[in-house]
Every structure is written in structure tokens, then in C-alpha cells.
Amino acid sequence: PTTMDQMMNTTLPKLKAGMMADGTYGKVYPIAIRGEPKETTALDVNAFIHGFGGTWFKGGYWNVTDVKAHRALPAFNTTAVVNAIKTYALMGSAFSSPDTPTYDFSKEITLYQSGKAAILYPQSVNAFAAQAFAPNATLAALMAYAPTVTGPTGKYFDEIWSLSFGISKFTHNPKAAFLALSFLTSYERQLNFATAFFPNPSLLSVLHSQQLTQKWGATTMNLMIEMLAQSDPHFIAYIPEANSINVKMGEVTSAVMSGQMTPQQAAQALQDYAYQLLKSDGYYG
């Protein structure tokens, strides 16, 4: 599929129908995703919000300074966010294991790498880890990275992870911290890490290295480079409250997946929570 519409209305239903026809559905599922009521689920839901053209704040602001300056309200009760939660929850409830509302990343990886799910979505980081550590070499050889689908706005439903490092201003030994940072971000360290199981390095020289092409294949690396170029690093707002809001997002999405809330109720609950949190933290005067 190239669009989310094709994914939800053609690809996944056909996979499910085929599995039901040969009697394997229930042992094998079309897709593996995570749905535990925690921040980890929200990391994936945010990719869906981005794909549907949504944003955390009205006006598209993503940092504390701009949000406060424009008194920008949260934008979680929009049609884009409702559609994101609805689609993600339906993907889990209709096309994956009935235990998906409790799944963390390790459980979705296990489902996929054991051959019990045809697709792992949307985060490539977990899929590459599943492939790298798959106990069955035959299954691992059949796993492949594919370009993600786009939403109605043309934006990708993707969750690109890369490495970012920093030094705390509170450190008592900035020189030692800098030396450790230099080691961790060095060409050799990133190359080893990317070659082992995570081909999304921060350094372009590593991304385009011969070693990664040999390990993962030219097709995979070309797709990875294309996806990195298309990715938006700001689709999750850079604010101190981000983790708390993501926890709430994971909770309400899991509730929709398990049938305890409607997508509209979930989006409004997230909106109300975010507004009250930001108001109490002084964003709106």
C-alpha cells in the first residue's frame, strides 16, 4: 500500500480474509502494533497524528517560547487527531492480537519475529531490532523494510528514530562529559551500532557507509535515506510537559482500542488534560 486508506481498506482486510480462509487467523495476524496505556504507545500515535495533518498546538507551534508568546491552545480535539486515534486503535483491535491493548514494544516484536504477524508498524526501530535478534534465521531473511504510507495530506505515517546526545548544564565535570559524548557520537561507535541493528545513524558519513549497505542492502538503505529526508523532527512538541501528555495519549488510545472510549471522547479527554496541565504551568498567563 502507498496510502493509509489502502492499508486500512485493502491490505489489512485482504490479509485477514486470507488468514481466516486458511484457518490461521488467531495464530497469525495481519499486523503487530503496541497499545499499552503508556507513553510508548503515544510515540506511534504521534506518527499517525502527523500523517493525518494534525499538530500538538494550533498554529503549528512546537516549543515553549512560541507557544507562550502566541498563547497557542492544544489542538488534540481536531478531526486529524480523532482520525489518528481511531485509525491506530482500529488497526490494533481489528487486525492484530486481542491482547494488543496491553502490548509494549517487546511483545509486538515477539509477535512479529516469531512469524505471527505479517507487518510491524509504524516504527522501523523495533522492526530492525526484531530482524536483528530473530531466533529463526529463515524468518529473519524474509523481513524487509518498506516505505511507509501517506495520509490525506500527503504526509508520511512514519516514526523515524535517531540518536541525539547532550550535556547537562548541571554537570560537575563538563570536560569529562564532552569526552564521553565525543566517544558515543564518534564514527566508529555509530557505525557499530547501526551495523548491529539500527541503521538510522546521526552522521551522514555512517548513513552512506559501505558497511551499512553490505549489512542491510542498498534497497533498504536508499529507502531509509529517503524516509529520513522526508521526516519532520518537530511533530512532537519540544516542551517539558511532552512526556505527561504522551502518557495521557497512550492511555486514551489504549482505551479506544479496548472499546472503553470512542475516538472523539479520547481526543477530547486528551485536549482537556493538556490544556489544564499547560494552564497550571503558566502557558496562558
HSE at residue 132, side-chain half, CA atoms within 13 A, is 15
The Cα 25–Cα 92 span in angstroms is 14
Question: Residue 165 falls within a domain, yes or no?
Answer: no
Is residue 148 domain-resident? yes
CATH of the domain at 134: 3.40.190.10
Determine the structural domain holding residue 188 and report its residue range: 174-230
The β-bridge partners of 25 are: 28
Q: Are residues 82 and 13 in the same domain?
A: yes
Domain check: are 65 and 205 in the same one? no
Within a domain: 249: yes
- Examine the domain organization and report whether 189 and 131 are in the same domain: no
Q: What is the DSSP letter of 9?
A: I
Establish if 169 belongs to a structural domain: no
Same domain, 153 and 97: yes
- Per-residue pLDDT of the chain in tens (285 residues, 90 and over written 9): 999 999 999 999 999 999 999 999 999 999 999 999 999 999 999 999 999 999 999 999 999 999 999 999 999 999 999 999 999 999 999 999 999 999 999 999 999 999 999 999 987 778 888 888 888 999 999 999 888 899 998 988 877 665 566 788 899 999 999 998 888 889 999 999 899 888 888 788 999 999 999 999 999 999 888 888 887 777 899 999 999 999 999 999 999 999 999 999 999 999 999 999 999 999 998
Q: Give residue 256's Cα distance to chain centre.
A: 18
Is residue 192 located within the same domain as residue 266? no
Number of compact structural domains in the chain: 2
My answer on whether 181 and 44 are in the same domain is no
CA separation for the pair 283, 61 (Å, rounded): 13
Find the length of the chain. 285
Same domain for 113 and 183:
no
What is the model's pTM?
Answer: 0.91
